[in-house]
Every structure is written in structure tokens, then in C-alpha cells.
Structure 1
């Protein structure tokens, strides 16, 4: 009788690494590699797959992948080594002082259902965008200028002010949707989102991507393109959600 053959070694990264969606490639790739690190799928001191393989598995360019890896190196999670045996390696877990900061992070997000917050935010954001675009072509000159000014303020914002002005832009969209209840609910959920965002770093690549989405969203609203406004808002929420899941989940 033939002995059963041992199954081939399973790929431990297969449950996590998958092709990302085109709209939020950077954010979703960052989320997935963060999961690989946080789940210990590549042990501390071990090397990640080669850049070419990672890029192919994620369905992104090597330029985007390098930006993702640079962010994680800056956060102290990965390190790059040169030479024949070089590559990108997972760094050991931090020592006590930083570990204390991580404990504080866990305390701050404890009791928060991150998925619930993110889903409710998406419902409100996409609803507000759709309503705004419905009424956008009929906005008064002052309403349209108010929206353009809120957008311009985010483009000109220094990093320290960005999150506040980003919030004001989204609140402006909610208000212009014409529902006081929606605006109040959005203000409440956005406060919760900002508490979560304060726990993760500001990433320049993500902010640039968000700004392009903001510009497209405002344009769709003022043009009355309801479908585009809704989809841009959904994609925008998805990018933020990917970062929060990656860093906090």
C-alpha cells in the first residue's frame, strides 16, 4: 500500500496577501503588509518575500510597494539590508518604553468597534455625497464658493492642521446635503473617526491621494454627477478604513 504523501508546505502569507483594488492600492497594500507583520506570519528577524514577488501578489507597481515599505521602515516595523543576503526584514518587537506607548494605544481603542464606526461613516459619507451632487448644480454662488474654499484650505494646510481642515471639508459636504440630522450624525461619527486617526501616523502619500479624491468629489458634486460622487466617497472611505484596520485592528 502506498503511503499518503505529505501535503506541500502551505504558504503562510496566502490568507493575507491578495491583489488590491485599483483605487486605494497604497492604503490596501499597507494594510496587508501590516497584517503580515502584526500576525507574525513573517517572524522577527526574517525576510519578507522579494519586492518583485510582493508587488505581483499585491497587484501594485514596485514604486508603490517601495513607498509602502518605506512607511513601515519609518514606523520601526521593518528594516532594509543591502548586500547579497539583503532584503526587507521584520524588526523585533520594541522594548519597554515603546511597548508602553502601544499599551496606551490599546487602551484608547478598547471598547471601540472599529468596523462599526467605519461602516457607519461610509453610509453617511456616501449618502451626503449623493445628496450634494443631486443639489449641486442648483447651489447658490455662496454655497459653491463655500465648498471650493473648504477644498482649497485642505490643499494649503500644513500637516499639523490637515486633519482639522479635512474634517471641515467633509462637514461642509454634509451640511450642503440639506439634512440637519445627517449633519449631526456625521459630526458625531467623524469625532470617533478622528479619535482613531489620532492613533496612527499622517502619511504624506495617503494625504496626496486623499487630496486627489477630494478634488474629484467636489467636482462631481458641483457637476451634479451623482454616481461619480457616491463612488468617489466610497473609495475615499475605503482608503481610510484600510489604514485604520492595518494599524489598529
Structure 2
């Protein structure tokens, strides 16, 4: 199978935007589409990835804003990889094992926290705290978003009633935040994250452990896709 076919295969449904960004970044970082070269035409690429053209355009616009691609008009126009391709500064490079370890820890403790919180009989204060943190995150500015996002995830951990699990989530989140600080904030991803937050909190408040766990797993997978795309 040609490398382009392997990279530009259909994405999964849950995190279409994030996985599209990851696929495009893989193609750029691996040199499958080299500096100065043009990405496949929009219609072709959307078909190969199995995403809508709206989703593809959002992904390309995000990479354009981050400085990885540029759009050119005219007969020979299209989306071209920047030359040279931006490379992370030495202090922003990530060891692949460090990245994998941080993502594995987060997946284990945060999906478990969502499940445990949903299985617990929540008091009024727990419910108020979850809803307040959810609203705070939804209304956050771009500059505030990661801090408010962290507060929501910690509120979910606190709703388990386990100090040890809350501490483990705080540790995992601290490590992931250090990685997130190395990649750009993408507005479509934040909007999608807020939608996923609503589903997670709804599952917890409704007392549905499996639904809350599944929703959290899908949410964390979206973040992992972006981190791997930009940092791997």
C-alpha cells in the first residue's frame, strides 16, 4: 500500500477533526508531502479521509494558522506545505516514550474517575460544582481555556470522593498540560471538547458509569490525536 494511502485512509467518527489534523501532520512530518509540495485536492482528500469538506477545511485552516501550510490561489493553486516546515524549538521537543507514558496514565486515571463519579451518589454540592465548572469551561476565552478545562477535569475527579484518585488525576493533568503548552490551541477542537464535556458530565449526573467512561475515553482520545500529530 502506498504511504499516502496508508496515511490518508478514512478516519474514525468520534474525533474526525482531531484525527484529520493528526493525519495531515503525520504526512507533513514524515515528508510524505514535502516542503513546498501540494496536498491532494480538497475533494479528493475529503473522500479519502472519509470526512466532510467542512471538517477538512477546519483542519487545514488550523494548520495554516499554526504555520504548517499555506493556501495559494489561481490555476496552480491549492494547499502547500510551508518550506521550510516549522520544527519545535529544542526546549519543546518531546521524547516519544514520555508522550506515550503521559497519555497512558491519563487514559487510565481519568476514564476511571468518570466511571467512579457516575457510580457514586452525588450530593447537591458535587452536582453544583460539576455544572459550574462545565459552564466556566464552555464560556472560557482562548487564553483561559486550558486552566478552566483543568478545573473541570479535577472537579470530575473530586466527585469520586477519593483523595488518592483526585491526586492521581492532578498529576496526570499536570504532565499533559506541559505537553499541551507545546502545541497550538485549535478553536474547532475546543468547541468539540466542550460538546464532549457536556456528554461526560451528563453521564455522571445521570448515574451512568459506562456512558461516562466511554464519553471520557473518546474525549481523551481526541487530545491524544492532536498531541501525537504535533509532537510525535
* TM-score under structure 2 length normalisation: 0.95
Structure-1 residue corresponding to 2:78: 87
1:221 aligns with 2:221: no
Inter-partner Cα distance in structure 2 for 1:216 and 1:169: 13
Q: Given the superposition, is the C-alpha separation of residues 112 and 196 from structure 1 closer, same or farther in structure 2, using an over 3 Å criterion?
A: farther
1:248 aligns with 2:213: no
Q: Provide runs of 4+ in structure 1 moved above 6 Å.
A: none
Q: Which aligned pairs between 1:1-249 and structure 2 lie closer than 5 A?
A: 11-93=2-84, 102-106=89-93, 109-110=94-95, 113-135=98-120, 138-249=121-232
**Cα distance per residue 1:123-161 (max 9 Å; x no partner):** 1111011111111xx211111111111111111211111
- If you compute each CA radius of gyration, which structure gives the higher value, 1 or 2? 1
- Shift of the alpha carbon at 1:28? 0.4
- Alignment length (residue pairs): 232
Inter-partner Cα distance in structure 2 for 1:62 and 1:205: 14
Q: Which consecutive residues of structure 1, in runs of 5 or more, have no partner in the other structure? A: 1-9
* TM-score under structure 1 length normalisation: 0.89
Inter-partner Cα distance in structure 2 for 1:142 and 1:190: 23
CA RMSD of aligned residues (A): 1.5
Q: Which consecutive residues of structure 2, in runs of 5 or more, have no partner in the other structure? A: none
